[in-house]
Structure 1
Amino acid sequence: MTILSHKSVPGQRTPSSPDMESDAKERFMANVLLIGHQPDLYMHLSRLFADGGHSLKVVSSLEDGIRHCRASSCQLVVLEEGMDNALEGIPRLRSTQAAPQVVVVAERYNPERGKAALLSGALNYMPKGKAPRAITTLLERLPSFGGNGAEGPDLRDFGIFGSSAALRAQFETIARSSNADVNVLLQGETGTGKELFARAIHRMSQRRGGPLITVDCASLPEHLVESLLFGYSQGAFTGAAKSRVGLIRQADGGTLFLDEVSELPMSLQKKFLRVLQERRYRPVGGGSEESSDFRLVAATNKDLQEMVREGTFRDDLLYRISTMRVLLPPLRERGLDTIEIAEHLLQSRAESNGGKVWQMSAEFRARLLAHPWPGNVRELVNVIDCTLAVAGDGDMLFAEHLPATIHAGMLPQSSRPWQGRTPTRRSTDVGHHGMHDRAGKMAHGVANGAAPSHASHNPSQGPSHGRPHDTADEAAAYATHAGGAHPDALPSFREARREALEAFEHAYLATLYEAVGGDIRQACSLSNLSRARLYELLRKHAIME
């Protein structure tokens, strides 16, 4: 691990007088880590940091940077885009104990790569030429961005479970804006937790003493939606025996949560727009206007921009409801959050039923991580409840306990028989049985606590003929190494588990790719992964560029 630490150099002014030292103490002084191999960027940053009191260290690899963030306090990471797996490393850096902000510096600016970096949890993306000055300016604002992820509200306090950078980035956005009384639009697939985020927004806001009124726009009958929202006066229509206060009025002093706002009828959208602009409305059949002081939080699983283009949603209403947008990531993009949520569900079910806490076997965890979860967290909750209902005796959950729809979906779909190919044939001749033989050995290794090899596979070179790794030996070697390490150098249990599961993922994909000879269609059939997801994983693990 190569680490260079900034020291003052000849010709540079350093805080030496008492007045200068006092000024330095009043300024925010950050620990900055540069991950890269371009000395010119390091020299530019070190010169600019000299007067600011900031410390600058540089490491030459992403893995060294992650280890540094685990063991040391670090507020900002400057990550060169040219590093191997740079964008994939952003969530890993953000999820370390230091939880630093990450800035990505590109040799050649690419807007699409920039978008991917920001969605992965980066604070900013900038070209190398502008980076030194921009980073120096950014350091002055860093405290306002929550430079230390350990500060602020805990997601678990609001019933939200997960540690992925994608989830935490969105939560930090609403936490930092808790005092801003602006309209918020939550966007995400069904089951991603939009209602939980709406409750969190309300509970963190200055309106938490008021009511939170939830309106499911998809369940409102179109002929009654106006009267339910605005209320109505006695005799306004047949059956209106007495006046009724609408949901908008009930939200006075609190938060109005419109779930599935995309289902709001066009006939009502213009009227609701006026309510948002003036906070005044007229009940159905009423003679005088009423007012309601509320904050709006809206949610949808649809693309409202596309609906605007189709003419089914008003563009002026979209702008009004989306002062702040929060994009909730699907469960399949949240990595080990699946396991964390499952563990919480098992614990809570045991507490509510007064029973034992079931443990998850390695293959059970692997099934959970491999499933695409089209229903997201809501589907995971149902799967865990179904699994516990049929688990019977024991205290360990195995893959066979999962619902048949998931367990069967993980089984290979190919029915091609074993052709008896020898190991000297090309990888395209590797049969179905060979795939299962290696996968079985690999699963056996993981189930016994060992991490598969990280060796990548180059399809142009055919099958790998290196010495096979003994998983038991690897596990013993790791235990021996860990036993002699200083406690501060050890990763957390969650980090170690994540690395082991990533190793399993890499080994499985490398074996799969070799077995099918690069045939993506067959790989999708065997793994039960979509083509897009498989491509994503193969690139992530550098198995296919």
Structure 2
Amino acid sequence: MANILIIDDDEALCDILSRRVKQMGHDHTCAYTLKDGYEKAASGSYDVVFLDVGLPDGNGLDALPRIRGLDNCPEVIIFTGQGDPDGAELAIKSGAWDYIAKPPSLKEIVLPLSRALQYREEKKRSSSKVLIKTEGIVGNSTQLQNALNLLAQAASSDATTLLTGETGTGKELFATAIHANSDRAGKDFVVVDCAALPDTLVESVLFGHEKGAFTGADKAHPGLVKLADGGTLFLDEVGELPLSLQKPFLRVLQERRFRPVGSQKEVTSNFRLVAATNRNLEELAEAKLFRQDLLYRLKTLTIDLPPLRSRVQDIKDLTIFYMGKLCEKYGKGAKGYSPEFLEALAAYEWPGNVRELINALERTLIASAEEPTLFPNHLPTHIRVKLARESLRQSTAGKTKSFQGENPQELPSLKDYREAVVSEAEAKYLEDLMLLTNRDIRAACKISGLSRSRLYHLLQKHGIKGSR
């Protein structure tokens, strides 16, 4: 007997589904709001959760990763009244078992539920906790854990694996971890940066050459593919692999045989392939810039690495881990973190992802010198400027909304309203500016574009403390 949770504001559907679940011999609980549903999911032990997308107090897809991240990790079947392909894709990528459009038939409900319970039972019987080496891969978010589960699958097989994700999400770290946790860990891990392959020597670099095969070939070279024999070949930025080389490489991938430049004989290489890209290979294939048949071979197993902005809860752990390494590298004592420092890190969007975070932490450590505690003003200037601008934007937006719902007769004149908004925005900007520059007037003038006299006037007008 399983335990089923139904989160849907459609009471008629909940009633129908409850009766069907009971007929199947399972217990059930209903919730009609997202808040109540999550509280029930977190406090109970459910095997399957039916989750509506359009709930009165929020979008079910937003709660999906949190529900999947609970200790009992229930399977989630999504209900939606809107046929949204993008929503379906997001649901599946976030770990949903299935995605069903409303109104569902009983068959559409019963079959996914039965299969989810069957999968869950078989998983319990066969599962054994696999410990994997994850050096440098830090975090406990659901998104990262989903990627690590796929990493474990990839490491336990020899399947060609494609790592996708934005720049700086840790694709090479994952590739290294796949190799380190595989049966090939004792052999070489050979990295090929496809974006840096020289146009005139690309075949020689990959497949090797014989002595005298071309001008400058004063000795034979085995090539990177041969060096990966018995180990792992990692093609980084595989979307940059020259189109002219993709067909020959496809044959190598299929046959594990190739002919070095200038040689009459073929050689073999028993390598395992892991590839990575931050580009959309499907779009490249549609534009005839990447071979479709090669793409099919690369996608045997695909791991999509989440951007840092989608796993904000990992930022603190990442900061502690990498700041510790940086302190050791620079011979400095451990640093403390003010709450405002960690809040600033969480508020920034990190377009360069984990790589940008590490670089920012290194610059922060240098800026903090021997000071024991890190504050927002230790962060790189461009990050503080971005945060100050966003803070000002939100403040102004909040002020604009403050009169909504008021009695029209109580509204101020447009002139008074404009002056009030400008004054508040001005004060907020100046406060952020002083915090950002640590009250350095010269730096504040440079960032704001104000003259020194004008800046002093505005600071005095708003009662803000100026230079230190």
Q: TM-score, normalised by structure 1?
A: 0.67
Paired residue for 1:277? 254
Q: 1:180 to 1:50 in 2, by over 3 A?
A: farther
Maintained 8 Å contact 2:341/2:376: yes
Paired residue for 2:236? 259
1:123 corresponds to which letter in structure 2? W
2:426, 2:121 → 1: CA distance? Answer: 52
Q: Say which SS state the counterpart of residue 138 (structure 2) adopts.
A: coil
Q: 1:433 to 1:337 in 2, by over 3 A?
A: farther
- Following superposition, the deviation at residue 215 of structure 1 comes to 1.0
Paired residue for 2:211? 234
Q: 1:53 to 1:179 in 2, by over 3 A?
A: farther
Maintained 8 Å contact 1:100/1:147: no
Paired residue for 1:395? 372
Task: Return 100-109 or 77-86, whichever deviates more.
Answer: 100-109
2:249, 2:349 → 1: CA distance? Answer: 37
Gaps of 5+ in 2: 404-409, 432-468
1:216, 1:315 → 2: CA distance? Answer: 21
2:156 corresponds to which letter in structure 1? N
Paired residue for 1:66? 38
- Following superposition, the deviation at residue 216 of structure 1 comes to 1.0
Describe the superposition over 1:354-383 as per-residue Cα deviations: whole angstroms up to 9, x where unpaired: 643323323222322222222111111000
Paired residue for 1:82? 54
Aligned equivalent of 1:121, options 81, 91, 95: 95
1:61 corresponds to which letter in structure 2? T
1:89 corresponds to which letter in structure 2? A
1:87, 1:123 → 2: CA distance? Answer: 13
1:266 corresponds to which letter in structure 2? L
Q: Say which SS state the counterpart of residue 232 (structure 1) adopts.
A: coil
Paired residue for 1:135? 113
Q: Say which SS state the counterpart of residue 200 (structure 2) adopts.
A: coil
Maintained 8 Å contact 1:345/1:381: yes
Task: Find out whether 1:290 has 2:264 as its counterpart.
Answer: no
Task: Return 31-40 or 381-390, whichever deviates more.
Answer: 31-40
Task: Return 41-50 or 182-191, whichever deviates more.
Answer: 41-50
- Following superposition, the deviation at residue 398 of structure 1 comes to 1.3
Paired residue for 2:382? 405
Task: Return 80-89 or 354-363, whichever deviates more.
Answer: 354-363
Task: Find out whether 1:306 has 2:278 as its counterpart.
Answer: no
1:187 corresponds to which letter in structure 2? T
1:434 corresponds to which letter in structure 2? E
2:125, 2:140 → 1: CA distance? Answer: 17
Q: 1:75 to 1:343 in 2, by over 3 A?
A: farther
- Following superposition, the deviation at residue 214 of structure 1 comes to 1.2
- Following superposition, the deviation at residue 52 of structure 1 comes to 6.8
Q: Say which SS state the counterpart of residue 431 (structure 1) adopts.
A: helix
1:90, 1:132 → 2: CA distance? Answer: 21
Gaps of 5+ in 1: 1-28, 442-545
Q: 1:282 to 1:315 in 2, by over 3 A?
A: same
Maintained 8 Å contact 2:48/2:113: no
Paired residue for 2:442? none
Aligned equivalent of 1:245, options 215, 219, 222: 222
- Following superposition, the deviation at residue 51 of structure 1 comes to 7.9
Q: 1:229 to 1:159 in 2, by over 3 A?
A: same
1:326, 1:179 → 2: CA distance? Answer: 14
Q: Say which SS state the counterpart of residue 336 (structure 1) adopts.
A: helix
Maintained 8 Å contact 1:358/1:397: yes
Describe the superposition over 1:427-460 as per-residue Cα deviations: whole angstroms up to 9, x where unpaired: 974514435778999xxxxxxxxxxxxxxxxxxx
1:149, 1:247 → 2: CA distance? Answer: 37
Aligned equivalent of 1:57, options 25, 29, 32: 29
Q: TM-score, normalised by structure 2?
A: 0.77
Aligned equivalent of 2:69, options 95, 98, 115: 95
Maintained 8 Å contact 1:76/1:147: no
Q: Say which SS state the counterpart of residue 273 (structure 2) adopts.
A: strand
Paired residue for 1:9? none
Paired residue for 1:105? 79
Q: 1:114 to 1:309 in 2, by over 3 A?
A: closer
Q: 1:364 to 1:178 in 2, by over 3 A?
A: same
Describe the superposition over 1:451-475 as per-residue Cα deviations: whole angstroms up to 9, x where unpaired: xxxxxxxxxxxxxxxxxxxxxxxxx
1:66 corresponds to which letter in structure 2? Y
Aligned equivalent of 1:434, options 399, 406, 424: 424
Q: 1:148 to 1:434 in 2, by over 3 A?
A: farther
Maintained 8 Å contact 1:69/1:98: no
Q: Say which SS state the counterpart of residue 326 (structure 1) adopts.
A: strand
2:231, 2:26 → 1: CA distance? Answer: 43
2:48, 2:125 → 1: CA distance? Answer: 7
Q: 1:411 to 1:147 in 2, by over 3 A?
A: farther
- Residues matched between the structures, number: 410
1:121, 1:367 → 2: CA distance? Answer: 29
Q: Say which SS state the counterpart of residue 152 (structure 2) adopts.
A: helix
Maintained 8 Å contact 2:22/2:28: no
Give the 5 Å matches for 1:504-543.
Answer: none
Q: Say which SS state the counterpart of residue 29 (structure 2) adopts.
A: strand
Maintained 8 Å contact 1:36/1:59: yes
RMSD of Structure 2 on Structure 1 (CA): 3.5
2:161, 2:210 → 1: CA distance? Answer: 31
1:163, 1:293 → 2: CA distance? Answer: 35
1:131 corresponds to which letter in structure 2? I
Aligned equivalent of 1:349, options 303, 319, 326: 326
Aligned equivalent of 2:158, options 155, 177, 181: 181
Q: Say which SS state the counterpart of residue 365 (structure 2) adopts.
A: helix
